[in-house]
Amino acid sequence: MRTSIAAGLGLLVFVAACAPTTAPGGSGESTPRAARQCFSANQVDNFRSGTLDQLFLRVSRDKVYELSVAGGCRDLDYALHLGLVADTGASSRFCTGDWARVVVPGNTQRTDVCRVRIVKQLTDAEFEALPAAHRP
């Protein structure tokens, strides 16, 4: 019984996500959703922390994404590696606007887990404007 309820709710969420949206004027015409920029966890080549609430990921050699860190991540500045885990389950695909968790293994302390939001993919000009210490 519980399985069929969960499957029904999952189908309802899936169908609702596919529903067309209307223009703000209410004309009934369908408007395309803004294209979200996405990447897979296995495409991440490097990372650097920016300010206390920023993390930058280099993805597939030529793309850089900005992530916003919610709360302090103690060892992010000194981390040699980290993990990225989707909030939505077992997915390894991350898109702008998504929430995820960064797992930072501690050297002498416990592992730190921080919540992050994928903000945007940086343009070339935004990347060039970053201080050298923040560039992945």
Give Rg (Cα) of the chain: 18
Q: Given this model, what pLDDT does residue 31 score? A: 37
Query: Tens digit of pLDDT for each residue in 57-79?
Result: 999 989 999 999 987 777 788 88
pTM as predicted: 0.71
Taking 50 as the pLDDT cut, the residues of the chain under it are 1-32
Instruction: Tell me how far apart the alpha carbons of residues 36 and 96 are, in angstroms, rounded to a whole number.
Output: 6
Please report the beta strands in the chain, taking only residues with DSSP state E, as ranges in sequence order: 38-40, 44-49, 54-59, 63-70, 83-86, 93-95, 99-104, 112-121
Q: Given this model, what pLDDT does residue 17 score? A: 36
